[in-house]
Homo-oligomer: A and B are copies of this chain.
Amino acid sequence: MLYDYPRLEEKLIIDKLKTNNHEVILTNVNNKPLTIGEKITDISLIRSVSMYKALYAAALRESGGCRSINSSYTIAICGDKILTLSRLKNAGLNIPRSTVAMDAESAQVAFRGLKKPFVDKPPIGSWGRLVSLVTDNVSWRSLLEHRQMLPTQQLKVHIMQDYIEVNNRDIRAIVVGGEVLGAIYRISVGDEWRSNIALGGKPVQRRLDPILEEAAIKAAESVKGDFISVDILEDSSGTLYVNEVNGVPEFKGFMEATGIDVAGALMRFLEEVSKR
């Protein structure tokens, strides 16, 4: 397992694997250099909080012939919301209508054509950070100016999405090895419109149904994900929109709300893979 900052999730997985007599080699990528082409283990579980460290750890392990879970392909796609939405759309999934503006000039062009409010976000980022609800011209211009001052090219790119009325909640489903473990609602709290757990969102179990299951499984397939979570918006008419896929999923809130043993399911999947 490669990680940077061990969270509860990492501890649970390690416990589960060790309790079941699996050999676990822990590598903190912050203090251990990795050599391209080196083969250390058969399977590498990638659990770094930093997306780029996760991506590189996966690619470096693959370069030595190891199977990374998730693969560098999956992490690269899921780590970038434009790449994710493109793959989801390609796979025939329903997504919120999304326009991409590479810089401020094209964002201004797109702004004029969009119904307000709309959602604006950069392709990179976790925990809902920089995901903004744009209601009017004044806050839009402030947002536009701030984005242009951000220090990377990617953070200057705008994904501008139709705002889906979701009744203060979205759905998160976890998929392991092509099977949906379960789903939760994340319910936004107070005057925060976003439902991310990091922003105070409360996890509550959501029953699975065939349409939700199919969406989650197709989403996982579209990014070739072994162990992923899928964020889905459900409007008042019940229509589902797949919006994001997480390549290094957190599952603390999910576990609390559903009682599902995610670490155990992951372990069984790793056992299967190692037998192939």
Binding site for B on A (CB under 8 A): 4, 29-37, 50-53, 55-57, 59-60, 62-65, 72, 76, 82-83, 85-87, 89-90, 95, 97-103, 105-107, 109-110, 123, 129-130, 132-133, 135, 137-139, 141-143, 145-147, 149-155, 157, 160, 191-193
Contact = CB atoms under 8 A, between A and B. Distances in A.
B98 A33 contact: no
Nearest to A160: B33
Contacts of A135: 138-139
A107 B145 CA distance: 20
A86 B64 CA distance: 8
B100 A56 contact: yes
A193 B31 CA distance: 25
Given A62-B90, A82-B60, A106-B31, A150 B146 contact: yes
Contacts of A100: 33-36, 56, 60
A141 B52 CA distance: 23
Contacts of A101: 33-34
Contacts of A150: 146, 149-151
A108 to B, nearest CB: 9
A98 to B, nearest CB: 5
A30 B106 contact: yes
Contacts of A133: 138, 142
Given A72-B83, A147-B146, A152-B151, A102 B139 contact: no
A201 B142 CA distance: 17
Nearest to A36: B98
Contacts of A83: 55, 59, 72, 76
Nearest to A50: B153
A83 B63 CA distance: 9
